[in-house]
Structure 1
Amino acid sequence: MSLREKKVEKKKEEIRQSAMSVIAEKGYHATTMEDIAAKLLMTKGSVYYYFKDKEALVYESHKILLEQSIEQLNEVLAEELTSIAKLRKAMIVHMEYVITERTDFFIGAKPDQVFVGEHLQEIIRLRNEYSDCMDSLIKQGIQDGSFANVDSNIVNNIILGAMNNVVIWYSPKGSKSIQELADSIADYLLKILV
C-alpha cells in the first residue's frame, strides 16, 4: 500500500469512527452527512469525496466489522482447545467485540432497515458466514460428545441472539466489567449444551 493509499485509508477510518459516534448520539436515520462532517470539522463535500452517501459509509464500516468478527472466530477455531473451551472463548471474544463496537453492531441488528441491494446482500452473506462457523463449532462438539445432542441450528440462533442482544442492554455503569459480563453470559449459554 502506497503512502497516499495509507493516508486515504486513515482518513476513511477517521470518518467511519466519527460517523459511528454521531449515530450513537442521534440514531442512524436522524444523522446526516453534515453532522458527520461537522464532528470532524470538515466540509460535507470532503466527506462525500471519501463516501458516496451515508449508507455507503455505514456499509463499509459494518462490512469491516463483520470481516474482523469472522477473522477472530476463525482464529479461535484454529486453536488447539476442547470443543467446550473453544465455544466458550468464541462467545467471549464475540461479546467483548459487540460491546466495544456496540453502535456498529446495533445498526447491523436489522440490516434491511439500513442497507439495500448489493450492500444488503453482502452484509447478509457475511452474517451467514459467521453463523455457519458457529454452527460448525457446535456440531463438532456434538460429534465429539462434548455437547448434548441438540438441534445445532436452533441452539446456534439462541446463542447468537443472546450474544448480540447484549448491545441493547449493556451499560458501562453496570457492576461488571466487559470481561466479567462476557464470562458470565458464556457460562450461562454453555449450560444449553453441556
Structure 2
Amino acid sequence: MSLREKKAARKKEEILRSASLVIARNGYQNATMEDIAAELLMTKGSLYYYFKNKEELLYKCHELILSGAMERIEELFSENLSSKEKMQKALKIHLDLVIREKEVFNLIGRPEQLFSEGNIEKVLQKRDEYASLFDKIIDEGVAGGEFLIDQKKMARMMILGAANWVQVWYSPEGKYEKEKVEEIYAEYLLKILM
C-alpha cells in the first residue's frame, strides 16, 4: 500500500469513528452528513469524496466495528485457553461492543430498515460470520466435555440475545461500571452452557 493509500485509509477510519460518535449522539435519523463533516472540521463535499451517502457511511461503520470485534475474538483461538475462558472473554468483547457502540449496534440489528438490498445481504453475512465464532467456541467446549448442552445454536442465540439487551438498560451513571457489568454477565451467561 502506498503512502497516499495509507493516508486515505486512515482518513476513512477517522471519518467512520467520528460518524459513529455523531450517530450515537444524535441518532441515525437525525445525524446528517453535515453533522459528521462538522465533527471532523471538514466540508460536506470533502466527506462525499470518501463516502457517497449516509447509507454507505453507516455500512462502513458497521463493517469497521464488527470486524474489529471479530479480530479480537479470533485471537482467542490462538491462545492456550479452555473453552470456558474463551467464551468468557468473547462475551466480554461482545458486551463491550454492545455498550460502547450502542447506536450503531442497534442500527445493524434492523438492516432491512436502513440498507438497500445489496448491503442487507452483506450485513447479514457479516452477522452470521460473527455468530459462527461463538458457535465454534461452543462446539469446542461440547467436544471437550466442558459444555453440556444439546441445543448449541439455541444456546448461542439465548446468550447473545441476553447480552444484546444490556444496551437497553445500561447507564454509565448506574450502580456498576461497564467492566463489572461485562464480568457479571459473562459469568451468568456462561452457566447456560454448563
Q: Structure 2-normalised TM-score? A: 0.92
Q: CA contact under 8 A between 2:99 and 2:170: conserved in structure 1? A: yes
Aligned counterpart, 1:12: 12
Deviation string 1:11-51 (CA, Å, 9 cap, x unpaired) is 22222222222212221122221222223232211111110
Aligned counterpart, 2:43: 43
Residue 184 in structure 1 maps to residue 184 in structure 2 = yes
Report the Cα offset of residue 180 of structure 1.
1.1
- C-alpha distance in 2, partners of 1:39/1:96? 24
- C-alpha distance in 2, partners of 1:163/1:182? 9
Aligned counterpart, 1:97: 97
Q: Which blocks of at least 5 consecutive residues in structure 2 are unaligned?
A: none
Q: Taking every aligned residue pair, what percent have the same amino acid on both sides?
A: 44
- C-alpha distance in 1, partners of 2:47/2:143? 51
Aligned counterpart, 1:119: 119
- C-alpha distance in 1, partners of 2:167/2:117? 26
- C-alpha distance in 2, partners of 1:76/1:103? 26
User: RMSD in angstroms over aligned alpha carbons?
Assistant: 1.6
Q: CA contact under 8 A between 1:135 and 1:156: conserved in structure 2? A: yes
Greater shift in the superposed pair: 49-58 or 87-96? 87-96
- C-alpha distance in 2, partners of 1:179/1:46? 38
Greater shift in the superposed pair: 87-96 or 52-61? 87-96
Output the amino acid matched with 1:157: M
Output the amino acid matched with 2:191: K
Q: CA contact under 8 A between 2:24 and 2:101: conserved in structure 1? A: no
- C-alpha distance in 2, partners of 1:77/1:97? 19
- C-alpha distance in 2, partners of 1:145/1:16? 42
Residue 80 in structure 1 maps to residue 76 in structure 2 = no
- C-alpha distance in 2, partners of 1:44/1:89? 40
Q: Structure 1-normalised TM-score? A: 0.92
Aligned length: 194
- C-alpha distance in 2, partners of 1:174/1:77? 34
Residue 108 in structure 1 maps to residue 108 in structure 2 = yes
Report the Cα offset of residue 188 of structure 1.
0.8
SS of equivalent residue, structure 2 residue 192: coil
- C-alpha distance in 2, partners of 1:88/1:69? 14
Report the Cα offset of residue 141 of structure 1.
1.3
Output the amino acid matched with 1:90: A
- C-alpha distance in 2, partners of 1:57/1:27? 14
Q: Which runs of 4+ in 1 moved over 3 A?
A: none
Report the Cα offset of residue 179 of structure 1.
1.6
